[in-house]
Amino acid sequence: MYTLTNVTKTYRKGRETVMALDGVDAEIGDGEWLAVQGPTGHGKTTLLQILGGLDRPTSGTVELDGSNLGAMPEAELARVRAASIGFVFQTFNLIPTLPAAQNVELALAPLGMDAAARRERVALALEAVGLTNRARHLPSELSGGQQQRTGIARALVKEPTVLLADEPTGNLDEGTRDEILALLEKLWRERGLTLVVVTHDSVVAHRAQRIGQMTDGKLVIGQTT
């Protein structure tokens, strides 16, 4: 469970100070699906990065299951990301030189699993996203939807409790978007994930249980749908 208390994040941009997050308070329950909408540059991605321990708040606290992510040493944060948090990116962020299976396997590297266990997990993850027959393909040999499926497999192969998705359908056509959404929803239900999706797309947002609106760094979360 996430608890955000008066979280601010400021950046220096030249001589200006930009307030990316401005006093965000929120609770995101275990197994909940929250969508965050808002215009570009209003703090959605910053919020996601802070939830994922990729960045630290300037002030305020971000607690995941009672642990303050902002106060953790970097090594401990890396451990939390490795074990508990999966990321899905708009641009997929697959390593272009690695086949799909090895891209997925990268997520298991920090967990110290033996090779046989890793291979088994990777096979299951690719099966879950319907890509068993594309395991040996490079990202450049996959369609956009297949690349995003690989990204989702990579995020879920370590069996995290939290999945953070930044515009996961932003680079896909409508048909593929619906496929990816259906896949995310299925995996969310099956695995009891806490899912936070940042999106511009109202179709995507309305699949979530709650929708948060991000404007000028302030987050307002609506009622449960």
Partner 1 sequence: MTIFLTYLRCELRHRPWQAVITGAGLAVGTGLVITVSATTSGVRNAQASALHALASSVGADAGSAPGNLPGVVNDAIASSAGLAADLGTWVALAALAAAFTLAALLTLAGVTRRVTEFGTLKALGWRAGRITAQVLGEAAAVGTAGALAGAGLGFAGAALVTALGPTLTVTVIGTTAAGGPQDKPVPVHFSAPVSPGIVALAVALGIAGGLLAGALGGWRAARLRPAAALAQVG
Q: Taking CB under 8 A as the rule, does residue 32 contact partner 1?
A: no
97 near partner 1, rule: CB under 8 A: yes
Q: Closest CB to partner 1 among 211 and 214? A: 214
Pairing of strands 85-88, 210-215: unpaired
**Only segment of 109-117, 173-181, 187-195, 213-221 that touches partner 1 (CB under 8 A):** 109-117
Q: Tell me whether residue 140 or residue 223 sits nearer to partner 1 (CB atom).
A: 140
Rounded-to-integer distance, Cα 8 and Cα 18, Å = 11
Q: Does 109 bind partner 1 (CB under 8 A)?
A: yes
Q: By C-beta, is 79 or 200 nearer to partner 1?
A: 79
What are the φ/ψ torsions at residue 22 (nearest 5 degrees)?
-130, 90
Sheet containing 85-88: order of strands: 85-88, 162-166, 194-198, 33-37, 210-215, 218-221
CA dihedral of residues 206, 30, 120, 93 (deg, nearest 10): 50
Site for partner 1 in 118-177 (CB under 8 A): 118, 138, 154, 158
Candidates 32-40, 59-67, 79-87, 187-195; binding stretch for partner 1 (CB under 8 A)? 79-87
1 vs 54, beta carbon nearer partner 1: 54
The two structure tokens encoding residue 219: 């987050």
DSSP sequence for 37-60: E--TTSSHHHHHHHHTTSS--SEE
Instruction: Please tell me whether residue 73 binds partner 1 under the rule CB under 8 A.
Output: no
Q: Please, are residues 71 and 48 in contact by the beta-carbon 8 Å criterion?
A: no
Residues that bind partner 1 (CB under 8 A): 45-46, 49, 52, 54-55, 74-75, 78-83, 85, 87, 89-91, 93, 95-99, 102, 105-111, 115, 118, 138, 154, 158
